[in-house]
Amino acid sequence: MFERVLVIGKNGQLGQSLQKIAAEYEHLELEFVGRDQLDLSCANAVRQFFRAVQPYSVIINAAAYTAVDKAESEPALADRINHLAVRQLAEIASEQDAFLLHVSTDYVFDGRSYRPWLETDPVAPVNEYGRSKLAGERAMLASGCRGAIVRTSWVYSEFGNNFVKTMLRLGGEREELGVIFDQVGTPTYATDLARALLAFLGDPASAEGADQADVELYHYSNEGICSWYDFALAIFELTQVDCRVNPIETRAYPTPAARPHYSVLNKSKIRQQLGITVPYWRDSLKACRDELVRNHVKSSIFSLQPQQSLANQLSCR
């Protein structure tokens, strides 16, 4: 259906996950660029990049400013990458008649719901990161380009820095941890998100969302509901880490940026239109654990004593 596909953000969790599965999609010519080739914080750099290359059929924006707390003190930079750069990419996609696939966030919501968020629900971000991502969504929706915005939540993977790897590191260093129990959402394994994005570019019969003339909003995370506390317990259970996890309230762990208390996303629309199966979050966490172990075996890191735990092995980098 599509030939040349540009993926922006090759060094991020999602970018690396897309690279991991790229060979499975033989009908797509996936090209990956990082910040050194395409710096979204610089409008001139973006303009020059697209002037120097042949037009793409699809542009996947897997890059973003994601430092939620730091965005409170760097709102201009967050806005430049999450808003203005998205507007620029949408303009380029419109000029080249390319399909723009952009990843957004559950943080566009205020978290005051008690049912999974629909794409049509009112938005009201509670921090600068969420406001910058919402501005990017609105710019793309108003651009007139063809494309899709996929909101996601709590992304983790075997790549980069994320909650799973932080818990494994801390679990190998400490006897107990306090983890927030009153923020509820759904973890998203980046590999599952990558497959959902590429489903837009598959058989037209199973990807009607890619044929629309305008931009459509979708939600994607894994299935199920948990708190960060539940997530930490599952991580230690699946990796046999002996670390006690204590539930704490958000107010006991103040951060510069406020977080929504309820971030569960309704996935009915993307399931129905793309015909995809959304994995349960614990099943995907097991898959990530297996990848972490496999990566360490391949890199010959397991020169540890038999009595050492998996947590110590995983944090030995």
| Active-site residue list | 129
183: amino acid identity, one letter: Q
Contact indicator for 296, 279 with CB cutoff of 8 Å: no
What does the block give as tokens for 131? Answer: 């406001």
Contact indicator for 153, 265 with CB cutoff of 8 Å: yes
286: amino acid identity, one letter: K
Please provide the distance, in angstroms rounded to a whole number, between the alpha carbons at the two ends of the chain. 41
Contact indicator for 40, 48 with CB cutoff of 8 Å: no
CA distance 291 to 297: 10
Instruction: Give Cβ neighbours of residue 84 (< 8 Å, ≥ 6 apart).
Output: 43, 139
Q: Can you spell out the DSSP letters for 215-272?
A: EEEEE---BS-EEHHHHHHHHHHHHT---EEEEE-GGGS--SS---SB-PBP-HHHHH
CA distance 220 to 240: 29
Positive or negative torsion for Cα 263, 101, 93, 65: positive
Positive or negative torsion for Cα 75, 180, 231, 172: positive
Contact indicator for 71, 64 with CB cutoff of 8 Å: no
CA distance 291 to 280: 17
Positive or negative torsion for Cα 261, 256, 130, 165: negative
Helices (H) and strands (E) in the chain, counts: 11, 12
